[in-house]
Amino acid sequence: MMIVGTILAILAAVVLTIFLGPYGILVLFAVGFGLLLSIHVRTKEIHDDMQKIKEKLGLTAGDDYVSDQEIEAELEQDRVKEEH
């Protein structure tokens, strides 16, 4: 897929250079920057939406985090209870 995209970009650069002269490459970079910015904004919106969904469902891991020390202490307590 990347090879196809690379070939299309090269062809677009050649065609734009033929029709627009030295400004063709500048137009190609401007379009590419616009596409990247659009993808970034859309990805940010999707990320924010996912965070809202997680909060709504109570799936946020912020409060549920347990440190390694707490886990080890709990396992030690369980082991002691099993011995008695």
Band the pLDDT of 62: cuts 50, 70, 90. low
Element (H, E) at 75: helix 68-83
Model confidence pTM above 0.85? no
Alpha-carbon torsion (6, 8, 9, 15), positive or negative: positive
Tens of pLDDT, residues 20-60: 888 888 888 888 899 899 999 999 999 999 999 988 888 77
Q: What are phi and psi of 28, to 5 degrees?
A: -65, -45
Helix 23-57 to helix 2-20 angle, to the nearest 10 degrees?
140
pLDDT of amino acid 32: 85
SS3 1: coil
| % of the chain at pLDDT higher than 90 | 25
Cα–Cα dist 1/13, whole Å: 18
